[in-house]
Amino acid sequence: MMSFTTPLAELTDYIELFSSKSWIGVVIAMFTAGALLSRFFSGRMADRIGRVPVMMIGTLVTAISGCLYVFTTTMGLLLLLRFFHGLSTGWRPVGTTAYLSDIIPTNRRGEALGFLGIAGSTGSAIGPWVGSIIKEEYSFELMFVVASLFGVVALLLTALLPESLENPEKFKWKFLKLSDGDLVAKSAYPALIAITLDTYSFGTILTVSPDFVSELGYSYKGGFLLVVVLSSIVSRFFSGRAADKMNKVKLLQAGILLSVLSLVLMGFSHSFEMITLAGVIYGISIGVTRPTIFAWTADLAVKGKLALALSTMLIGLELGIFLGAFVSGLIFNGDISQIYLSYWIAAGVSLSAAVYLRGKRSLA
């Protein structure tokens, strides 16, 4: 996660080397588009060739991408690189989540996914913060090289993992054909719709918050994301176990309603203290919703199609972030005064997710 997130908070300033800040929504969206496309292949590949190879593919892409930013000289090349970099998140999380689901008892799946989220959130917290410090004190180039090195370390550690899938197949090029097997799992459609609506807000926050929080007193733009992720980590210590014991749909609704509250507060924030409070609440909401929806998706999965179900749900995650980033980027267009509207729209979209979940079944 540190490899993915190290450059995140400084992308707006990096874009200004080539064009204007108004491109930030498109730049974020291109990354998500790459992840979205790869989800159609990563799930069924993980169910065939194994979890570890799929994790290796995603990690290799992010390790390569970090260095390529150093040689990017135009907006067109940056957009292509962001798309390529996005492929990494389409592979790595699917393999990792399926791997963990394989080796953990079903009745402790929520708890385990909560701890996986803690690990990921820790990387998400440290990455932008480290990236901001390196960029401010040294250079963009060093920031990207460090991001790449994080990817290399992750690749070496992943190579040491034993495969968890029983009787994996040898890779065949036909596995990449659209017609060779299912692209999505119908069982995961409810989770896909819910997470699409829920993560629209995250795309909005990634796009507009760095500039917004800088205006409200954050010296390092990555500091706000650090607040969000740290509060997410704390809540995951409790939410994972809760997902194993409670009705997952109701718990998911509760987490989404917290995000609605936080987004409304962001839309009214005019001080460092208020935006920080909103960030804490939003982080708690993520800590509740992420392990819960992963565990719910695993419950809904058909036997032998676990990774496919997870990748289907994650298509929704990428689609939500894509839409949130793209729409908020259009609204923002470099004008700080328009950011409030972006937050309020995101609150409305999140509220629709909670409404959609009414009456949905918790277990398969």
- The verdict on residue 313 lying in a domain is yes
pLDDT band at 310 (very low <50, low <70, confident <90, very high): confident
pLDDT(229) > 90: no
Q: Give the residue ranges of DSSP H helices in the chain.
A: 2-5, 11-15, 24-46, 51-68, 75-103, 109-137, 140-158, 189-215, 222-245, 248-267, 272-300, 306-332, 339-356
- Please provide the average confidence, as pLDDT, over all residues in the chain: 86
What pLDDT score does 180 carry?
64
pLDDT(57) > 80: yes
What pLDDT score does 196 carry?
95
Q: Domain containing 201 — which CATH number?
A: 1.20.1250.20
Residue corresponding to tokens 């990017």: 72
- The verdict on residue 171 lying in a domain is no
- The verdict on residue 215 lying in a domain is yes
Query: SS in 3 state form for 229-278?
Result: HHHHHHHHHHHHHHHHHCCHHHHHHHHHHHHHHHHHHHHCCCCHHHHHHH
Longest C-alpha distance within the chain, in Å? 57
pLDDT(145) > 80: yes
pLDDT band at 346 (very low <50, low <70, confident <90, very high): very high
What does the alpha-carbon distance between residue 291 and residue 111 come to, in Å, rounded to a whole number? Answer: 8
Collect all residues with Cβ–Cβ distance below 8 Å to 70 and sequence separation of at least 6: 141, 144, 145
What is the span of the domain harbouring residue 97?
A: 2-160+182-356
- The verdict on residue 175 lying in a domain is no
Q: What percent of the chain has pLDDT over 90?
A: 32
Q: Supply 26's token pair.
A: 């498109």
- The verdict on residue 165 lying in a domain is no
pLDDT band at 362 (very low <50, low <70, confident <90, very high): low
- The verdict on residue 176 lying in a domain is no
Q: What is the pLDDT of residues 18-50, one digit of tens each?
A: 777 677 778 878 888 888 888 888 888 888 899
Q: Cα angle vertex 121, ends 309, 165, to 5°?
A: 35
- Mean pLDDT (whole number) for 51-58: 92
Tell how far CA 39 is from the center of its chain. 13
Collect all residues with Cβ–Cβ distance below 8 Å to 234 and sequence separation of at least 6: 283, 284, 287
- The verdict on residue 217 lying in a domain is yes
Tally of structural domains, the chain: 1
Q: What's the pTM value of the predicted model, to 2 decimals?
A: 0.75
What does the alpha-carbon distance between residue 102 and residue 172 come to, in Å, rounded to a whole number? Answer: 23
What pLDDT score does 363 carry?
59
- Mean pLDDT (whole number) for 223-235: 85
Q: What is the pLDDT of residues 147-190, one digit of tens each?
A: 999 999 999 999 999 998 888 888 877 777 766 667 788 889 99
- The verdict on residue 170 lying in a domain is no
